[in-house]
Structure 1
């Protein structure tokens, strides 16, 4: 389950950054149910993947400096009889 939770957190983080609603690092940590140090690690990982993330002290939020697409999805559903034939 941890893997799915991590993906959900990353998607939530992306939405918060995209709409400039992260708050301070401490507020973001509370929203994501993580420690502040884990938030910094997660943000650094995204930056390594070329996410253009910056922090505004004036507005107290993280934001993307240019449009950025992140799409992580998992789909779970039963297969139909036709789909399950090998």
Structure 2
């Protein structure tokens, strides 16, 4: 079980590095928005992996709160997004 959790953490770390590059270098603001959403999803998965590893469910409300903040943030930014200059 520990091997699976370590591999999952390593894959999450690798994907966060790749997505972090997309957030910093993304050619448009929409690319950056999608990257930030993906980083938030990776953070949620990281917290969930930590909960499985420690067998402690006290962080479950934090996962729900992160999901709500991500959803509300994405909807509000997408609603008021202005087109990028060509």
TM-score, normalisation: structure 2: 0.31
Higher share of residues assigned helix: 2
**Which is higher, the Rg of structure 1 or of structure 2?**
1
Higher share of residues assigned strand: 1
TM-score, normalisation: structure 1: 0.31
